[in-house]
């Protein structure tokens, strides 16, 4: 049996810039850590915002830290239906030409013209992990999920960095389709 990869399910969330954090929460405001995430240096903040379009709203969407160079909203496709938007499936940070929303905080609001994506499923791994699995950064692989709703996820992006911890990231739609949750394990298939 091939080496197993732990799964992390990612619910809708927001990454914010310093400038937008000042507008949403007040000048000089600092995010506070609710809990550390599996990837080193990443955390779920206590702070939440509302995501609004003409067709729908999600209240109390968690901000993930630390701050980013561009504000980014990551949602699942079912979330997109409720908001009435059609975001592209992209790697985190690839926001050019994506759709926008209004982000509302306790002190103000920001209308972003682009920044809403459905994150492509991806595996975080270190260079040592990549060598063990025989893959490289930016490679596209397939992942096998076992169990009563077992399936094969195609088009899974491999992301390699010394600071990563081995984990497959799926959104809530993908996790529900395969009946997997954070802590489940999967395998790369070639």
Best CA proximity match to 142, nearest among 89, 187, 176: 187
- Computed from CA positions of residues 23, 27, 33, 37, in that sequence, does the dihedral angle turn out positive or negative? positive
First to last CA, the chain: 13
pLDDT bracket for residue 190 (50, 70, 90): confident
Predicted pLDDT of residue 38: 92
Q: Where are the beta strands (DSSP E) in 17-98?
A: 33-36, 43-52, 57-65, 72-74, 89-90
H or E segment to which residue 189 belongs: strand 185-189
Q: What is the pLDDT of residues 20-68, one digit of tens each?
A: 999 999 999 999 999 999 999 999 999 999 999 999 999 999 999 999 9
C-alpha 72/C-alpha 10 separation (Å) is 14
Q: Quick check: 33 and 114 in contact, CB under 8 A?
A: no
Backbone angles phi, psi at 185, to 5 degrees: -130, 155
Please report, rounded to a whole number, the percentage of residues in the chain having pLDDT higher than 70. 99
CB atoms inside a 10 Å sphere around CB 61? 21
Domain assignments of the chain as residue spans, ordered by start:
12-117, 121-189
Q: Where does residue 138 fall: left (phi above 0), alpha (psi -120 to 50 degrees), or beta otherwise?
A: left
Q: Quick check: 105 and 125 in contact, CB under 8 A?
A: no
Q: What is the pLDDT of residues 133-174, one digit of tens each?
A: 999 999 999 999 999 999 999 999 999 999 999 999 999 999
- CATH of 121-189 among 2.40.40.20, 3.40.50.10470, 3.40.50.2300, 3.40.47.10: 2.40.40.20
């Amino acid at each position: 049996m091939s080496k197993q990869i732990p799964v992390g399910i990612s619910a809708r969330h927001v990454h914010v810039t310093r400038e937008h954090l000042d507008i949403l929460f007040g000048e000089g405001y600092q995010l506070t850590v609710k809990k550390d995430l599996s990837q080193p240096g990443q955390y779920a903040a206590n702070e939440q915002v509302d995501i609004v379009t003409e067709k729908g709203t999600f209240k109390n969407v968690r901000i993930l830290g630390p701050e980013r160079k561009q504000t980014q909203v990551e949602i699942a496709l079912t979330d997109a239906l409720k908001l009435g938007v059609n975001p592209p499936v992209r790697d985190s940070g690839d926001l050019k030409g994506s759709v926008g929303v209004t982000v509302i905080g306790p002190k103000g609001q920001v209308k972003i013209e682009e920044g809403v994506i459905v994150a492509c499923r991806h595996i975080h791994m270190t260079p040592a992990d990549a060598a063990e699995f025989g893959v490289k950064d930016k490679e596209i692989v397939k992942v096998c999920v076992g169990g009563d709703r077992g399936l094969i996820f195609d088009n899974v992006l491999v992301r390699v960095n010394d600071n990563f911890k081995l984990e497959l990231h799926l959104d809530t739609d993908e996790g529900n389709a395969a009946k997997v949750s954070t802590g489940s394990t999967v395998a790369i298939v070639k």
